[in-house]
Amino acid sequence: MKTTIKFFLFAALISLFASCAKNPGNLLIKKEGTWTATTVTTIDSFGTFTDVYEMTFYEGSATQKDTAGNISSFNWYYDKKAAQIVISLYDGVNTTTIIEEVSNIETDSEKWTYKSRTYNGIKTTPAGYTQETSLVRK
């Protein structure tokens, strides 16, 4: 009987840790800090492009610096119901919303797969556009 109870407690703990590891909202908030993000974008008929950014995450917001030193900021949250990361950018005039799906989570890394982009309420994802972002904790 004690062995059965211990097994179920152990299984419950494993389940709890696994569910936390699959929620990028918890992971990024828990590990606020700087990440290196490598984004690979493919556009049919144009080719594949790779960009590297330094991203610093805070609870609900982040900054992004490209290799030229340009800095931008955005808000983000994890939508548990849809299992997606929602990124919002506002430049004072226009609003862009980007939806990313978390396709892989490791201890110090995540991989995001681009799902869609909305610009001022209009979906603007071109046909033949794919993007994957690999984030690695610095």
pLDDT of 9 over the 80 cut: no
Cα-trace Rg, the chain = 18
Which class in CATH covers the domain with range 2-137?
A: mainly beta
Q: How far apart are the first and last CA of the chain?
A: 46
Residue 91 CB: number of other CB atoms within 10 A? 8
Residue 25 CB: number of other CB atoms within 10 A? 17
Q: For residue range 90-120, list pLDDT tens digits in order.
A: 989 999 999 999 888 888 888 999 999 999 9
Q: For residue range 29-70, list pLDDT tens digits in order.
A: 446 789 999 999 999 989 999 999 999 988 889 999 999 999
Cα–Cα–Cα angle for 39, 120, 112, nearest 5°? 25
All structural domains of the chain with their residue ranges: 2-137
User: How much is the pTM?
Assistant: 0.74
Tokens for 113, please give them: 């797969």
Q: From CA 77, how far away is CA 31, in angstroms rounded? A: 14
